[in-house]
Structure 1
Amino acid sequence: MLRPVIAAMQLMVIGSAFAQTAGEREDTAGALAPVVITGDSAWQQRWLAPGSVEVVDGEELRAGQLQINLSEGLARVPGLVVRNRQNYAQDLQISVRGYGARAPFGVRGVRLYVDGIPASAPDGQGQAANFPIGSADRVEVIRGPFSALYGASAGGVIALYTQDGARPTEWRTGVAAGSNGLWRLSTQLSGQTGTPAQPGWSYTLDAGKFATDGERPQSAASRSTGNLKLTRAHDGGRTVLLLNRQSSLALDPLGLTRAEFDADPQQTTASATQFNTRKSVSQTQIGLAWEQALGQGHRIELLGYGGQRAVRQFQAIPTGAQTPPGSAGGVIDLDRDYWGWNARWRLDRTYDSGRLTVAAGLASDRQTEDRLGFENFVGTTLGVQGRLRRDETNRASTLDPYIQAEWRTAATTLTAGLRHSRVRFTSADRYIAAGNPDDSGATQYDGFSPVLGIRRELTPQLQAFASVGRGLETPTLNEVAYRTGGQTGLNPALNASRSLSAEAGLRGRQGWGSWSATLFETRTQDEIVVLSNTGGRSTFQNAGRTRRHGLELSGVMQWGPVTITPAYTWMDARYRDGFLTCTASPCAAPNVPVAAGNRLPGLAKQQAYLQLAWEPGWANSVWTLEATHTGRMAVNDRNTDATAASTLFNVGVRFEQNRGDWTWREFLRIDNVTDRAHAGSVIVNEGNNRFFEPGPGRSVYVGVELVRRFP
């Protein structure tokens, strides 16, 4: 259960975070975001920010899409990789300029938010399954130095903001279906109580369910979600109440070895079915945001949230690997309570020469998880819960003060920010047996993240921007859980990695559209890498220096009925220092070299996206052609194997009919038209060499949506 309504809601953390120009409307869809972004339209946010910010409108995210995964609508953002693993037991694979690519499951190194509430835990690990795409107002993607102002392990930021209810009341319901038994049913209701003269609460309700038989055997999944947002304006401020519920059950097909992938990429490795690998998740969370103007440009903003998450996962760890006394078994049973708060003061002052915005605040997040481990067999029966092998309580907490200031004129923006992050882990071990001593312990990481940025308008149609900053990436609780040599207990030798990032770019806008070009570089010390990955246990170490540098290009161009949306990323990501790793078990000391100059695994050197959209002017139709290119990716630190480069083509058409207060929308899309076999993603440094996660073949999807507006 939720702890006494999440520790009496422990609430109060920020409700909005975007400073606006004088006379512009207050952006009421946001929640606490330390980065000051000026302007209220998507283009203004991109145009006026002194760093790399992309804003994808909610309608763009949904148009002609299944509305199930973030990977459907964010390919147009350069520097961002969102891969659908076709494995709902492991969530999406998300990386931003290389941050997050090492994650074998879930999301780490990239901070996720929904209406200001973190979808990332204090240790930096998160999941995107609870993003309510059906009611999204917009998704903001922050890349580069400014993302560090969101705290530790924020190599990038993806923040979804849901719609505010408004008049007239709107009801939407939709259904989609397609290949591999996939279907999705969802409904949204939004509106406002009271009268136009005296409005009451604005409300947005979003509920949905989807299921699939899966692309491969042992990959079926189902998920149910619900999201409620209530907002009410009051004199000089507003209150926001958020409630989210998600439950899912997914089978896990695991990855494939090179031999399995080459023989038949649509097969499932035998151990997945033998152990009936699967994962169930149940999560409930609540949040409250409040803001109030104090006069003379001063404002206070408070937000708090809390939730509970339960996970039960059956892994394919061989029974022999669970024999050693220190084994944690092959079944994970996790019960997590989490909560956090954030409080901020903000000052907005307009002077004759420009506008000054100053913000300062304090943020804290907490999680407490009771983790049990069991054997995944009883006698000769596999895939069932056996004996207890792990029993511990782990806690993670953060406490981050921050400050940021922005000075803006019509032609120039100067922004500076500083955040201090402190991340603390503790573990209380209750499973103590012969050969398995008390592994209780604690470790802490802290550091400063300073950021400086500038934007300068060169002409009304052209501007330059540049920013530089330092970041801190801490290990997750899973990564710090084991010591070198396979010993259990928190690993005090594992350090946080520290990075220096810089970027410089140009943005332009003309009558036919807009474009952006950005050069970036990130240099990291103490990069966190896998030391050994055998027997279901991963240990980690620091590997010295890495360097990631590259170029991002994007734009939107329109000529008559044709709109072209290209995005291109070139990135060279390499280890600057060599190090030693383990490839066999037991491994008392690392003895296999990883050469300096090797590519960081899971990252393609080139990634490109192109969408052509044609609106012929009849039946309100839009015809689209998409091409996505992904370059070759190394699968491990030693670069002993890699995926092949691939180019996929998707086609689609959507229609819309309006009859008074009623609107019908339909879509048809075909993904991977040429039915090309390809690796959709890789499991980096997978201990059994099952690196390859096959992408889907040719897939056909159809959908229909009904919209009703009530005057």
Structure 2
Amino acid sequence: MMNRFSCFAFFLFVSCVVFGQKDSVTTLDEVILLEDFAPKKVQGITPSATIAPVVLEKFSPIDVASGLNQIPGVYMLSGALNTNRITIRGVGARTPFGTDKLRLYFDGIPVTNGTGFSTIEAFDLENLDMVEVIKGPKGTSFGANLGGAILLNSKNPDTDETRLMNHCTVGSYHMLKDNVTFQHSEKGFTLNLSFNHLETDGYRQNSRFERNGLLLNSSFHTSDKNKLGFLMNYIDYKAQIPSSLNETDFRENPTAAAANWLAAQGFEANKYLLLGLSNQYIFNGRLKNTSSIFYSYLDHYEPRPFNILDEFTNGYGFRTVFEGKFSEENQYSFGSEFYRDEYNWSTFENLFRDNNGNGSLQGDRLSKNREFRRQFNAFGTLTLAFSPKLYGQLGLAFNQTVYDFRDLFNSGSENTSARRDFDAILLPSLGLRYHIKYGHLFANISRGFSNPGLEETLTPNGIINPDIAQETGMNYEIGASFRFPKQRIALEVALYRMDIDNLLVAQRVGEDQFIGRNAGETRHQGFELAVNHSFELSKTITISPYVNYTFSDHVFVDFVQEGNDFSGNPLTGVPKHRINSGFTLRHLSGFEWGLNHQFVDEIPLTDANTFSSESFNVFFTSVRYRKALFKNMALGINAGLNNLFDTNYAQSVLINAVGFGGSQPRYFYPGNGRNYYGSILLNYVF
């Protein structure tokens, strides 16, 4: 149940809508744009949600979760800076760790690995100009995954300008973050170079985090029709791991680390490199092509209480998209995307118990493996105007996935090498949009899929399961987008239903062992609402309240596991209600004050629905000030207070946790206590 804080936030919004009568409304994009305009990248009439930088600036520069969670239907659970899971309309909620069942792109380059996992923490929030989210499989050109797609777009310099910026932030838990950016633009050439450093001791024991990153993005025109682009993103970080807590420790000592992870001084060290070379060629006013080739490398080392994981991944691929039009209203696109990676991983004994309290110590090798993963996607869309008001879009995607697993440790009959070729799959979609006076109505039907992750493809003996199948599902959605200029109100609403077959279930059978099964069917139904308003309190002060609401009615339709029938139970890991609300007060002098609120309903943590997390409300407040110091220099000051009322809440959870050795199961990742941050931004234009 929502307590008085949720009711107060909703009452505040309603009051502002009813009594506000002046000034202009903030411009919205196709669907659910939060506050400021950000042009979308998705072609045609595919609905998407975008977040502009001004929304991200409401929160701490290390808090990407609060920004993404502004979008109805999107829920990012963050156990730590390096432990994130993004779910979209409940898809991916059963994944134990990390983000899968969606596609992640950075500046148009796919950065999701060969088994479908995406790592958003490999990118610095401050380097982003916009985040765009396609909810569900209707993004034909971006993989048609059941969860959808997230498009990250880096900042570009303004035309004919040279700029140097430094943004330095300090905060609780000895947090220090610094981002230095140099941007240059002249006719036919742009350059964006950014270095960032972050360090923090963290809220909990064994949670220190250190990261350095470098981003280089450049483009130049070789002719009036041709533009070349180069991208490099490098991240090097080391993050201690406090892991999850049982219910007793979560309530009584949320700053503690799990005892075994603390004793092992568990951590992960990552070096991540992404290189991309792109080319855009305009054939004529009606056809252009954008193509890119890319390479990625990840070196990961993770000492854990049960073993030490040492792995590296080499990935490469290409993407090409042709965009054309028969007329301004009738458009088409087609293209393909290929990704291949080589994943090498080994495990070793962890002798931390014999290391005199000095943490992890690598022992004998336990396994050595290599897996080749290959995905090929082809896609096409056709957008037609049936009348000046009615548009339709047809889409078709094709996917072929192959896993080739090599056991390099065992020999003879004990060797578990195997290959798994999934059947080729076709993924059609149909969308409609009808324009009305103050907005448009939309509807779409689309088919999507999800590949099993690495653990889900293997049996308990480490052998590829030949019977494991891809999840598939049909998505049905209707919605509307309205903008009322005189009333300064923007409203977005969507209703959807997604039926998923061959549900992939990762069952934990050991401390570091999961197996996958196709366990049945789920039905995802929901309602999403986003409302923004803006009006004048005086000639110099404006206020912009908002409410974003998510209702999730997600259930197991057919789910029987080891003789237990969970059919009819709510889907594990998904809160039924979520609310993000707040307002921003602006003064013409450049001063802003914002108050933001998040409500998350209880979350079922077991398939039997015998145990759930508690609902919670968390409040954030921040002030911002911008001032031109000289002709070419500007100053920005930000300060914020997070978790205003020092609420003890679970910022992330594990489902179906198992206690080993008689210990309680560990379900909870505590959110940070009350904490602050403050930053100074200097911006010099040459």
Q: TM-score, normalised by structure 1?
A: 0.86
- Find the aligned partners of 1:341 and 1:304 in 2 and give their Cα distance: 4
2:471 pairs, out of 457, 481, 497, with: 497
- 1:579 has 2:579 as partner: no
Pair 1:594–1:682, CA change in 2 (3 A) = farther
Pair 1:345–1:148, CA change in 2 (3 A) = closer
Paired residues of 1:533 and 1:685 also in contact (CA < 8 A): no
1:286 Cα shift? Answer: 0.6
Paired residues of 1:298 and 1:345 also in contact (CA < 8 A): yes
- 1:67 has 2:37 as partner: no
Aligned to 1:637: 607
Three-state SS of the structure 2 residue aligned to 1:554 is: strand
Paired residues of 1:69 and 1:129 also in contact (CA < 8 A): no
- 1:185 has 2:178 as partner: yes
- Find the aligned partners of 1:315 and 1:270 in 2 and give their Cα distance: 12
- Find the aligned partners of 2:404 and 2:42 in 1 and give their Cα distance: 43
Aligned to 1:509: 483
Aligned to 1:685: 656
- 1:82 has 2:76 as partner: yes
Aligned to 1:24: none
Residues 227-626 of structure 1: pairs in structure 2 closer than 5 A: 227-233=215-221, 234-295=223-284, 297-317=286-306, 330-350=307-327, 355-377=329-351, 380-381=354-355, 383-408=360-385, 410-432=388-410, 437-445=414-422, 446-459=424-437, 461-480=438-457, 482-483=458-459, 486-511=460-485, 512-560=488-536, 561-580=542-561, 590-591=562-563, 593-617=564-588, 619-626=589-596
**2:475 partner letter:** S
- 1:158 has 2:124 as partner: no
Pair 1:237–1:84, CA change in 2 (3 A) = same
Give a deviation string over 1:593-639, Cα, whole Å, max 9, x none: 1421122222110010012111133x411011111100000123222
1:270 Cα shift? Answer: 0.8
Aligned to 2:51: 56
1:283 Cα shift? Answer: 1.1
**1:340 partner letter:** G
- Find the aligned partners of 1:163 and 1:262 in 2 and give their Cα distance: 42
Pair 1:131–1:378, CA change in 2 (3 A) = closer
1:128 Cα shift? Answer: 0.4
- Find the aligned partners of 1:533 and 1:621 in 2 and give their Cα distance: 55
Three-state SS of the structure 1 residue aligned to 2:334 is: strand
**2:246 partner letter:** T
1:48 Cα shift? Answer: 9.7
- Find the aligned partners of 1:427 and 1:223 in 2 and give their Cα distance: 32
Give a deviation string over 1:246-265, Cα, whole Å, max 9, x none: 01101111101122223322
2:197 pairs, out of 203, 209, 216, with: 209
Deviates most, 442-451 or 278-287: 442-451
Give a deviation string over 1:370-421, Cα, whole Å, max 9, x none: 1111111278336211111111111100111211111246423211110111
Three-state SS of the structure 1 residue aligned to 2:165 is: strand
Paired residues of 1:76 and 1:565 also in contact (CA < 8 A): no
**1:68 partner letter:** I
Three-state SS of the structure 2 residue aligned to 1:105 is: coil
**2:142 partner letter:** Y
Pair 1:148–1:538, CA change in 2 (3 A) = farther
Paired residues of 1:64 and 1:668 also in contact (CA < 8 A): no
1:497 Cα shift? Answer: 0.7
1:231 Cα shift? Answer: 1.0
- Find the aligned partners of 2:593 and 2:565 in 1 and give their Cα distance: 48
Aligned to 2:135: 143
Pair 1:338–1:101, CA change in 2 (3 A) = same
Pair 1:357–1:68, CA change in 2 (3 A) = same
Aligned to 2:662: none
- Find the aligned partners of 1:371 and 1:704 in 2 and give their Cα distance: 42
Three-state SS of the structure 2 residue aligned to 1:126 is: coil
Structure 1 unaligned regions, length at least 5: 1-34, 36-40, 194-198, 318-329, 581-589
- Find the aligned partners of 1:153 and 1:279 in 2 and give their Cα distance: 29
- Find the aligned partners of 1:270 and 1:427 in 2 and give their Cα distance: 34
Deviates most, 523-532 or 244-253: 523-532
- 1:118 has 2:113 as partner: no
Residues 686-701 of structure 1: pairs in structure 2 closer than 5 A: 686-688=657-659, 689-701=665-677
Give a deviation string over 1:182-222, Cα, whole Å, max 9, x none: 111111111125xxxxx242011121011111111011111
Three-state SS of the structure 2 residue aligned to 1:260 is: helix
Three-state SS of the structure 1 residue aligned to 2:416 is: coil
* Superposed CA RMSD: 2.2
Give a deviation string over 1:226-253, Cα, whole Å, max 9, x none: 1110011331232111011001101111
Pair 1:51–1:402, CA change in 2 (3 A) = closer
Aligned to 2:20: none
Three-state SS of the structure 2 residue aligned to 1:552 is: strand
Deviates most, 597-606 or 51-60: 51-60
- Find the aligned partners of 2:116 and 2:608 in 1 and give their Cα distance: 26
Percent identity of the aligned residues? 21
**2:402 partner letter:** R
**1:188 partner letter:** T
Paired residues of 1:544 and 1:576 also in contact (CA < 8 A): yes
Give a deviation string over 1:563-599, Cα, whole Å, max 9, x none: 012100000111111311xxxxxxxxx35x1421122
Paired residues of 2:58 and 2:594 also in contact (CA < 8 A): no
Residues 11-30 of structure 1: pairs in structure 2 closer than 5 A: none
Q: TM-score, normalised by structure 2?
A: 0.89
Paired residues of 2:177 and 2:199 also in contact (CA < 8 A): yes
**2:224 partner letter:** D
- Find the aligned partners of 1:348 and 1:547 in 2 and give their Cα distance: 37
Aligned to 1:25: none
Paired residues of 1:134 and 1:206 also in contact (CA < 8 A): no
- Find the aligned partners of 2:616 and 2:511 in 1 and give their Cα distance: 32
Structure 2 unaligned regions, length at least 5: 1-29, 31-35, 537-541, 660-664
Paired residues of 2:140 and 2:396 also in contact (CA < 8 A): no
- Find the aligned partners of 1:602 and 1:360 in 2 and give their Cα distance: 36
- 1:100 has 2:92 as partner: yes
Three-state SS of the structure 2 residue aligned to 1:266 is: coil
Three-state SS of the structure 1 residue aligned to 2:138 is: helix
Paired residues of 2:102 and 2:147 also in contact (CA < 8 A): yes
Give a deviation string over 1:289-330, Cα, whole Å, max 9, x none: 11112236232221110021100111222xxxxxxxxxxxx1
Three-state SS of the structure 1 residue aligned to 2:120 is: coil
- 1:221 has 2:213 as partner: no
- Find the aligned partners of 1:153 and 1:174 in 2 and give their Cα distance: 36
1:45 Cα shift? Answer: 4.6
Aligned to 1:168: 161
1:49 Cα shift? Answer: 6.0
Three-state SS of the structure 1 residue aligned to 2:558 is: coil
Paired residues of 2:650 and 2:669 also in contact (CA < 8 A): yes
1:47 Cα shift? Answer: 12
Three-state SS of the structure 2 residue aligned to 1:691 is: strand
